[in-house]
A and B are shown apart, each in its own frame.
Chain A
């Protein structure tokens, strides 16, 4: 018990160190990814459902197995789907010359006119 508690507390510290450096931009994938990691209960479900333990343990474990697998598979997949969308800017072929020529003072002023 004390040993387990030690692991728990130390892992919380590791988690704190690692996760507080995750940028805001990745907070949603962090949540879904870490959520998938919490599906590690799948291991417990396999043991409960698959080992000697009578009918009750087996069926409760089987339900747990399905729930945990949804959590794990869905969680990792959806995180992957999100993360593949995060891209850096490709060097845009900016036509800088174009932007300068159209500045039109009057037009800007017009936009400032209030419309009630």
Chain B
């Protein structure tokens, strides 16, 4: 009876997750959707607590309280600009939990002297592998995104060989466990040590998979790790034969894979190409200004000129990039947009799918600054509008507006879909310097006759633009 109720509760939870995700299809219903999913989780937890034969409910509630408190503190304190690293960290905890649950199963089988069959052993090993890779990979991503580890691709001689060896070692550990399974309750060593060994190997593997990937490729990695965390939960579901885990894990796995695919398409690169890493180095901030080298003039402008240009435009499109997040300039940008709108200027935001450090990063930042979401446009919705735009204001973006992607077959970014800011009458770049973007490619648009460069920190520049517009 109790088992039936638990299973019905799990079914209800899974249904609520699907409903919840479905409601994420519109910003208007999204918040309720997330709450539905949270309710589903609560039902699953409460049903397990009360209906399973939990022997130590006090300790369980203590565990829930400790984890819950840490979660609340992290969720409350995070700044919106730091969202990518927090999501990466939560991912890591999810992966760790899956690997640990699978390991705990082995411990339980030993205590209860239950024999291990082939499929259980295999799924335990898969769960440990994916869970641990997700754990360490996510925390490396966390380090990179928060600046605790260099955001540049890290590579060392023999890294690929080492990765290959670790993969072979992981497979060997899985084979060892499966071979040890038939003798299991009597002889536990092969299974136990292969689980321990695989955990260690997977931990290093996760690190090696993420360190060669550079900062701007992080959206792909975060999405992929998101998918892994789901697959790890699903694998644990196979171990426990728990449908709730399998279904939820598969949902999340699918979600992460879809996002990963969207990110790769938006960069016109294959997933393998991203994972192999080493795509461009972020150039030194101190690198010489490249304009002179190319022998082409660059038109620098000032805040007062830009303010006039913006104020008397009919239509302005703002293109935000990672530089906006770094400078934390989202509130100032919104204020500027409001001032322009008060003057009757039509203002829109054009958001490239890979702008920022995770899918949808710019949207969250702008939402934080109270920019209504109906002013934010996806690339395909807004690209035809640049032809009728007076001023494109590019704030901290670069590669995603580089026309070379359209015509220069030799460029590493050739074929990547871009925002057609070059079609607008004037383009204003808010940038610190002329240094190339993440891809290492110089942006020819800097040297175009209808481009103006407003050098400086994005926040400072936008603040002075606000002052100038107010004075007009």
**Chain A residues in contact with chain B, CB under 8 A?**
1, 4, 7-16, 18-54, 56-58, 60-90, 92, 94-96, 98-100, 102-104, 107-108, 110-116
Contacts and interface: CB of A to CB of B under 8 A. Distances in A.
A60 B369 CA distance: 42
A70 B190 CA distance: 32
Contact of B44 (A33, A40, A90): A40
A111 B373 contact: no
A1 B66 CA distance: 35
A21 B299 contact: no
A94 B97 contact: no
Interface in B218-261: 222-223, 226, 229-230, 232-234, 236-256, 258-259
B309 A40 contact: no
Given A34-B226, A44-B242, A28 B67 contact: no
Q: Pick from A35, A57, A96 the residue with the most CB of B within 10 Å.
A: A35
Contact of B250 (A15, A36, A95, A99): A15
Contacts of A74: 70-72, 74-75, 86, 90, 93
B342 interface: yes
Contact of A67 (B54, B67, B308): B67
A28 B358 contact: yes
Given A28-B87, A74-B70, A86-B30, A57 B93 contact: no
Contact of B342 (A38, A54, A61, A95): A95
Nearest to B234: A8
21 contacts: A4-B243, A15-B251, A16-B258, A27-B259, A29-B360, A32-B83, A32-B87, A34-B256, A35-B226, A40-B248, A47-B240, A57-B105, A60-B100, A60-B107, A74-B86, A78-B87, A80-B34, A92-B341, A94-B342, A98-B342, A111-B301
A71 B17 contact: no
A70 B71 CA distance: 4
A34 B57 CA distance: 28
Contacts of B258: 15-16, 19-20
Given A57-B108, A57-B111, A4 B246 contact: yes
Given A15-B252, A35-B87, A107-B308, A67 B75 contact: no
B252 A34 contact: yes
Contacts of A24: 262, 351, 353, 359-360, 363, 378
A32 B34 CA distance: 10
B374 A37 contact: no
A54 to B, nearest CB: 3
A94 B262 CA distance: 37
Contacts of A114: 297, 299
A74 B93 CA distance: 10
Interface string B83-102: 10011001101101110110
Given A35-B91, A73-B71, A86-B30, A80 B35 contact: yes
Contacts, number: 445
A90 to B, nearest CB: 8
Interface of B: 10, 13-14, 17-18, 20-22, 24-28, 30-31, 33-35, 37-38, 41, 44-45, 48-49, 52-57, 59-60, 63-64, 66-68, 70-72, 74-76, 78, 80, 83, 86-87, 90-91, 93-94, 96-98, 100-101, 103-105, 107-108, 110-112, 119, 222-223, 226, 229-230, 232-234, 236-256, 258-259, 262, 297, 299-302, 305-306, 308-309, 311-312, 341-345, 351, 353, 358-361, 363-364, 367-368, 370, 372-376, 378, 426, 472
Contacts of B31: 80, 83-84, 86
B212 to A, nearest CB: 22
Given A48-B105, A53-B111, A31 B259 contact: yes
B342 A69 contact: no
Contacts of B301: 111, 115
B34 A88 contact: no
B256 A73 contact: no
Given A46-B45, A46-B49, A53-B111, A71 B71 contact: yes
Contacts of B242: 43-44
A58 B111 CA distance: 11
Contact of A75 (B80, B90, B376): B90
Majority SS at the chain A contact face = helix
A14 B67 CA distance: 30
Contact of A25 (B38, B103, B376, B426): B376
Nearest to A114: B299
Contacts of B342: 94-95, 98-99
Contacts of A67: 67, 93-94, 96-97, 100
B329 to A, nearest CB: 17
Contacts of A62: 59, 63
Contact of A68 (B53, B94, B107, B372): B94
